[in-house]
A = this chain, B = another copy of it.
């Protein structure tokens, strides 16, 4: 069974329990409206030693910072402002003490940068590995929330920055090259937190999510939930190196992926650059497509890339 198969099964099992005021389950975050104007958003993510990080290759500070960043990224990916996290930290004996404190300093650095309080959590022993689980809470005006299901035919598909560097960094780390620039980026992802909240306020932005499993896999979620297709001009993908496959299939870039009203895309890119000092990139178009599939183009012509799947956690 794949990760997504299991998630589907869980969704079916719990479908008969009323969701109360919750909506958006299955998006980056669950959404709970708290009045006519505002909602809280919730997301949870786990990191396991030996699967998501190697203690030899990454400092405790970096793991702490990344644990916070990737969760805040999910909040920002819906156009919301992160306000709090809860942290469950399970530590084997050898990580209690210095490692744990360094981890917390990293976690704190990201929390402080975005003014996010630590609202609770749990610390326990574990038998052999470090295990980290973070729940992030965000807040947004209901009208600012960007859902995966909101892409519209004709929208321009945009990404918030260069893709694939994290995948190259992971490859370097697995080969024992811990000190490359890409390896550093992999260990220290810069989530687009302020950018996500800003894009949430832009009416011309329709669907949004963050790229954690790779463009090919993540864009598919938008297509499935919005009942649309996509053409991606592969030569326009801002790839970190000459092998576009890393940019399309590599995980953990934590850049924003969003669709924008075609007429407004160019002006949005200008205003974004004014605000944040760097470029966002148009890479394709949302299409009417009953198969909800991605069609890859190269210089205007369709090409097939059967091996461009996404990243699966298991």
- Please measure, in the bound complex, the distance between the C-alpha atom of A17 and the C-alpha atom of B131, giving whole angstroms: 25
How many whole Å from A91's CB to the nearest CB in chain B?
Answer: 7
The reply to whether B96 and A17 contact each other, CB–CB distance below 8 Å, is no
- Please measure, in the bound complex, the distance between the C-alpha atom of A100 and the C-alpha atom of B51, giving whole angstroms: 18
Any B CB within 8 A of the CB of A217: no
Task: Report A13-28 CB contacts with B as 1/0, cut-off 8 Å.
Answer: 1101111101001000
Tell me the A296-314 residues at the B interface (CB within 8 Å).
313-314
Residue from B46, B49, B108 within 8 A of A133 (CB atoms): B46
Q: Which residues of B contact A108 (CB under 8 A)?
A: 13-14, 17
CB closest chain-B residue, reference A91: B314
The reply to whether A40 and B40 contact each other, CB–CB distance below 8 Å, is yes
- Known contacts A10-B118, A34-B34, A42-B119: A48-B104 contact under CB 8 Å: no
- Known contacts A13-B108, A45-B88, A127-B48: A120-B313 contact under CB 8 Å: no
The reply to whether B17 and A119 contact each other, CB–CB distance below 8 Å, is no
Q: Which residues of B contact A278 (CB under 8 A)?
A: none
Any B CB within 8 A of the CB of A7: yes
Q: Which residues of B contact A50 (CB under 8 A)?
A: 126-128
Interface size class of A (residues with CB under 8 A): 35 or more
The reply to whether B51 and A127 contact each other, CB–CB distance below 8 Å, is yes
CB closest chain-B residue, reference A19: B117
How many whole Å from A309's CB to the nearest CB in chain B?
Answer: 17
The reply to whether B119 and A46 contact each other, CB–CB distance below 8 Å, is no
CB closest chain-B residue, reference A23: B119
Any B CB within 8 A of the CB of A111: yes
Residue from B1, B7, B16, B44 within 8 A of A97 (CB atoms): B1
Any B CB within 8 A of the CB of A140: no
Any B CB within 8 A of the CB of A276: no
Any B CB within 8 A of the CB of A243: no
Any B CB within 8 A of the CB of A242: no
- Known contacts A1-B96, A13-B108: A90-B48 contact under CB 8 Å: yes
Any B CB within 8 A of the CB of A101: yes
- Please measure, in the bound complex, the distance between the C-alpha atom of A104 and the C-alpha atom of B19, giving whole angstroms: 17
Any B CB within 8 A of the CB of A234: no
The reply to whether A46 and B131 contact each other, CB–CB distance below 8 Å, is yes
* 7 residue pairs, one from A and one from B, having the closest CB atoms: A133-B133, A50-B127, A30-B119, A46-B88, A135-B135, A44-B86, A88-B133
Given A22-B84, A34-B35, 9 more contacts at CB 8 Å? Answer: A7-B123, A17-B111, A19-B117, A19-B119, A42-B86, A46-B124, A90-B131, A126-B131, A131-B133
